[in-house]
């Protein structure tokens, strides 16, 4: 009997419930009707009378131990539930963890803010688009190889309904709706049939910009984009424009910013060139203006488009695009301090 009591004492002392259910199961197993402790109390009736005093004392101790164990562990669960600790008042308070904005939202908001300061308004458009708004109105001729620049997802084999490959479709919708002067920035998700890697994804975000008025020139575009680059990447940032091709602009250019990591000296981020490519831009092709009901003899304009992931990667030196989509809190938490 002594041995049974000692074994039970050990069992009770070592018990730690992880859930209130486990605690209740333990109570039934030990002090329930057929519990181990109850059984020992039954055996106690048969103990010789000269041993009754000794065993009685041991049994009482164990009964108290059991009661204490049940009480303290129940209190712990209750305190976790109500959020206040009864068991140990010196424990630190439960700190609600603070969320943070996603780096894509942070970069997008910053881009939009910079342009709204210049008088641009924000416009959005549908993700499921038609051929006209994504290609034809933007001066992509039918079957022209330029359409291959962007591998398109079509909806149900219908060549007319597709997921937009760029936010330039919102330019078209804006011009169709609005008379110049037009100054808009258009954020949104875009879709391209590309293999997922550290540098490419089939879903990503762009911000498109469009400015149309009388006498808008290439110099206006350059100055606007210089302002943007300095607001986004720091006041000493330099830009350079390289000739490029887009069906919807003529002339077209790609803009690089001076690498702020090495200050233009050359590092592995800028591939030792001192420059980082950030956006495409150009003077809106007259065909696009005419297709959207704006008289190209009267108005000119410039447009630009940039990848939000890319800008965010450059700004915060994120090395792998896939991190943006995994939603790993260890990554996201690092943006808590960015407003
Ligand atoms: N739509 C282009 C792309 O997705 C980006 C772009 C380049 C937009 C030049 C423009 C522009 O408006 O003028 O690659």
Same domain for 149 and 245, yes or no, is yes
pLDDT at 146 (0 to 100) = 66
Same domain for 161 and 272, yes or no, is yes
Task: Indicate which residue's Cα is closest to atom 6 of ligand 1.
Answer: 305
Of 114, 116, 144, 118, nearest to 131 by C-alpha is: 144
pLDDT top residue among 268 and 112? 112
Same domain for 324 and 194, yes or no, is yes
Q: Is 46 among the domain residues?
A: yes
Q: Is 96 among the domain residues?
A: no
What percent of the chain has pLDDT above 90?
55
| Angstrom distance (rounded) from CA 238 to CA 227 | 10
pLDDT band at 45 (very low <50, low <70, confident <90, very high): confident
Q: Is 90 among the domain residues?
A: no
Helices (H) and strands (E) in the chain, counts: 12, 10
pLDDT top residue among 269 and 45? 45
Top mutation candidate among 111, 120, 151, 166 for ligand 1, by most atoms within 8 Å of CB: 166
> Which CATH number fits the domain that encloses residue 153?
3.30.930.10
Average pLDDT over residues 243-251: 96
Of 18, 50, 82, the residue at which a domain comes to its end is 82
Query: What's the CA angle centered on 216, arms 117 and 247, to 5 degrees?
Result: 100
Q: Which domain holds residue 27?
A: 2-82
Of 32, 51, 82, the residue at which a domain comes to its end is 82
Is pLDDT of 223 > 90?
yes
Same domain for 62 and 130, yes or no, is no
Task: Indicate which residue's Cα is closest to atom 2 of ligand 1.
Answer: 305
What percent of the chain has pLDDT above 70?
96
The CA-atom distances, in angstroms, between 151 and each of 137, 194, 203, 280 are 18, 7, 12, 18
Q: Is 97 among the domain residues?
A: no
Of 206, 181, 179, nearest to 191 by C-alpha is: 206
Tens-place pLDDT, residues 252-295: 999 999 987 787 788 877 889 989 899 999 999 999 999 999 99
Same domain for 76 and 176, yes or no, is no
Top mutation candidate among 140, 246, 301 for ligand 1, by most atoms within 8 Å of CB: 246
User: How buried is residue 313: exposed, middle or buried, by Cβ count under 10 Å (0-12/13-18/19+)?
Assistant: buried
pLDDT at 42 (0 to 100) = 87
Distance (angstroms) between ligand 1 centre and the Cα of 304 equals 6
Which stretches of 118-179 are DSSP H helices? 131-134, 168-177
Of 92, 83, 287, 122, nearest to 209 by C-alpha is: 122
Distance (angstroms) between ligand 1 centre and the Cα of 135 equals 12
| Angstrom distance (rounded) from CA 208 to CA 184 | 8
18 CB neighbour count, 10 Å cutoff: 9
Tens-place pLDDT, residues 181-206: 999 999 999 999 889 988 889 999 99
Q: Is 169 among the domain residues?
A: yes
Q: Which of 44-53, 147-156, 225-234 holds the top average pLDDT?
A: 225-234
Same domain for 162 and 223, yes or no, is yes
Average pLDDT over residues 36-45: 88
Distance (angstroms) between ligand 1 centre and the Cα of 182 equals 17
Q: Is 107 among the domain residues?
A: yes
Distance (angstroms) between ligand 1 centre and the Cα of 132 equals 16
pLDDT top residue among 183 and 32? 183
Is pLDDT of 85 > 50?
no
Average pLDDT over residues 310-338: 89
Distance (angstroms) between ligand 1 centre and the Cα of 274 equals 23
Same domain for 173 and 290, yes or no, is yes
Same domain for 126 and 49, yes or no, is no
Same domain for 71 and 115, yes or no, is no
What is the dihedral angle through the alpha carbons of 261, 266, 271, 273, rounded to the nearest 10 degrees? 120
Average pLDDT over residues 34-44: 88
Distance (angstroms) between ligand 1 centre and the Cα of 307 equals 9
The CA-atom distances, in angstroms, between 66 and each of 37, 85, 256, 282 are 9, 22, 73, 80
Same domain for 64 and 121, yes or no, is no
Average pLDDT over residues 162-178: 96
**Protein residues with CB under 6 Å of any ligand 1 atom:** 166, 168, 208, 246, 249, 280-282, 303-305
Is pLDDT of 86 > 60?
no
User: How buried is residue 246: exposed, middle or buried, by Cβ count under 10 Å (0-12/13-18/19+)?
Assistant: buried
Same domain for 38 and 126, yes or no, is no
Distance (angstroms) between ligand 1 centre and the Cα of 146 equals 13
Q: Is 93 among the domain residues?
A: no
pLDDT top residue among 258 and 84? 258
Q: What is the tally of structural domains in the chain? A: 2
pLDDT at 300 (0 to 100) = 98
Ligand 1 atom having least distance to the Cα of 249: 13
Mean pLDDT of the residues in the chain? 90
Of 33, 50, 82, the residue at which a domain comes to its end is 82
Same domain for 108 and 72, yes or no, is no
Q: Is 159 among the domain residues?
A: yes
């Amino acid at each position: 009997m002594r041995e049974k009591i000692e074994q039970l004492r050990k069992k009770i002392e070592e018990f730690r419930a992880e859930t209130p259910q486990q605690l209740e199961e333990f109570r039934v197993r030990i002090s329930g009707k057929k519990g181990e402790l109850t059984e020992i109390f039954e055996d106690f009736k048969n103990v010789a009378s000269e041993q009754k005093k000794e065993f009685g004392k041991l049994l009482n101790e164990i009964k108290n131990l059991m009661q204490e164990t049940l009480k303290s562990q129940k209190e712990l669960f209750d305190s976790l539930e109500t959020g206040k600790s009864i068991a140990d008042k010196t424990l630190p308070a439960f700190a609600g963890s603070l969320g943070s904005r996603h780096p894509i939202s942070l970069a997008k908001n910053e881009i939009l803010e910079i342009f709204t300061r210049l008088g641009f308004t924000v416009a959005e458009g549908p993700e499921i688009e038609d051929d006209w708004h994504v290609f034809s109105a933007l001066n992509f001729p039918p079957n022209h190889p330029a359409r291959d620049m962007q591998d398109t997802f079509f909806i149900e084999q219908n060549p007319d309904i597709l997921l937009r490959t760029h936010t330039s479709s919102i330019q078209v919708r804006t011009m169709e709706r609005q008379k110049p002067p037009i100054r808009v920035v258009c954020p949104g998700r875009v879709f391209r049939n590309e293999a997922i890697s550290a540098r490419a994804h089939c879903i990503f975000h762009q911000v498109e910009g469009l400015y149309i008025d009388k006498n808008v020139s290439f110099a206006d575009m350059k100055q606007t984009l210089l302002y943007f680059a300095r607001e986004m990447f720091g006041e000493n940032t330099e830009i350079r424009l390289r000739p490029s091709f887009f069906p919807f602009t003529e002339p077209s250019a790609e803009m690089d910013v001076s690498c702020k990591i090495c200050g233009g000296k050359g590092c592995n981020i800028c591939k030792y060139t001192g420059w980082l490519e950030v956006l495409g831009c150009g003077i809106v092709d007259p065909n696009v203006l005419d297709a959207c009901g704006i008289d190209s003899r009267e108005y000119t304009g410039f447009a630009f488009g940039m990848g939000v992931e890319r800008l965010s990667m450059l700004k915060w030196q994120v090395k792998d695009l896939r991190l943006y989509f995994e939603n790993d809190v260890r990554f996201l938490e690092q943006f808590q301090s960015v407003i």
